[in-house]
């Protein structure tokens, strides 16, 4: 399908707005995972602002697709996307990580509208997503399930148990999106535990593999469309990304895995992002 220039431009602008909210809310909380939140924003935008079948005014609409943030520590990116989609007021983002807030450090489906599964313990979200997809298949329903995983998260053995389960049971309504930013908690993924050859691993586990630049919105939309056709296997999209994307001080800087910007630098980062809006 051809996507209009206006649509793509609008989504790019939304991605910048989400990044600004991530910076503000983590700085305000003086806590939260900045690097891996900024890396996956465009993927979330492509899903929530265009691809997913969902209704923010009715989060429990039975016909909705399901999304699971398996890399639950990227909650700031998720919350900002949900708020800008209309699940709850944008003002609530400033309550991130406060006691009694609906927006805890990791997503909690008992608290936050739009959160389907509580996540944060890496490796588990994909199993829950595949379970939901199997449920829809057994019920003869047409809903699709999406799971966003980190590439460091792929070190978890449970991911690969889930992957072989999905292909064995021919669960084709599941899609995994890998935020391939090559970083994790303790450094570069290639040094901690390399996942290469990553595409070949998923292929060997019986999945259909697509690759995409995680910041080319048009390509993201195209690949999401393409992957919906002739689904005979579970799908994985490996999106090449960068930790801290969009802010020069943070981009590619592993120090910011779980560290927010102090107030003054946060204001600078928000201003830098504002300038980027003007040159879209
Ligand atoms: C089971 C489990 N072990 C350890 C952690 C701590 N932890 C939080 S984020 C992270 C790194 C994950 O790397 P990746 O999935 O690549 O995330 P990204 O770099 O995209 O933020 C770790 C080890 C956790 N949340 N869950």
Span 14-19, average pLDDT: 98
pLDDT tens digits along 96-125: 999 999 999 999 999 999 999 999 999 999
Atom in ligand 1 nearest the alpha carbon of residue 39: 20
Q: Quick one: which H or E segment has residue 264?
A: helix 263-278
Predicted local distance difference test score (pLDDT) of residue 273: 98
Atom in ligand 1 nearest the alpha carbon of residue 74: 21
Q: Are 87 and 59 in contact (CB under 8 A)?
A: yes
**pTM score, two decimals?**
0.98
Atom in ligand 1 nearest the alpha carbon of residue 179: 20
pLDDT bin (cut points 50, 70, 90) of residue 2 is confident
pLDDT bin (cut points 50, 70, 90) of residue 249 is very high
Which of 148, 181, 184 most suits a substitution to test ligand 1, by most atoms within 8 Å of the C-beta?
184
Atom 19 in ligand 1: residue holding the nearest Cα: 184
Nearest to 36 by CA among 242, 263, 273: 242
Pocket flag, ligand 1, residue 65 (CB < 6 Å): no
- Please give the Cα distance from 280 to 276 (Å, whole number): 7
What's the mean pLDDT when you consider all of the chain?
97
Predicted local distance difference test score (pLDDT) of residue 1: 66
């Amino acid at each position: 399908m051809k996507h209009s220039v206006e649509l793509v431009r609008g989504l790019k602008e939304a991605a910048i707005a989400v990044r600004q909210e991530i910076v503000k809310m983590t700085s305000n909380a003086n806590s939260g995972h900045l690097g891996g939140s900024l890396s996956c924003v465009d993927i979330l935008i492509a899903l929530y602002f265009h691809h997913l079948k969902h209704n923010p005014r009715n989060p429990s609409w039975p016909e909705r697709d399901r999304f699971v943030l398996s890399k639950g520590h990227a909650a700031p990116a998720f919350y900002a996307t949900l708020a800008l989609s209309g699940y709850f007021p944008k003002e609530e983002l400033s309550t991130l990580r406060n006691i009694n807030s609906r927006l805890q450090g990791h997503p909690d489906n008992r608290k936050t509208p739009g959160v389907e599964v509580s996540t944060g313990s890496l490796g588990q979200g994909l199993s829950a997503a595949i379970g939901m997809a199997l449920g829809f298949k057994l019920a003869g329903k047409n809903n699709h399930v999406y799971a966003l995983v980190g590439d460091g998260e792929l070190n978890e053995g449970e991911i690969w148990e889930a992957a072989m389960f999905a292909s064995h049971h021919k669960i084709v309504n599941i899609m995994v999106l890998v935020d391939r930013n090559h970083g994790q908690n303790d450094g570069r993924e290639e040094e901690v535990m390399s996942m290469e050859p990553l595409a070949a691993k998923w292929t060997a586990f019986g999945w259909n593999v697509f690759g995409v630049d995680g910041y080319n919105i048009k390509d993201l939309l195209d690949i999401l469309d393409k992957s919906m056709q002739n689904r005979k296997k579970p799908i994985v999209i490996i999106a090449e990304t960068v930790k801290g994307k969009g802010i020069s001080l943070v981009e590619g800087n592993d120090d910011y895995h779980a560290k927010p910007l102090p107030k003054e630098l946060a204001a600078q980062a928000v201003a830098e992002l504002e300038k980027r809006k003007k040159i879209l």
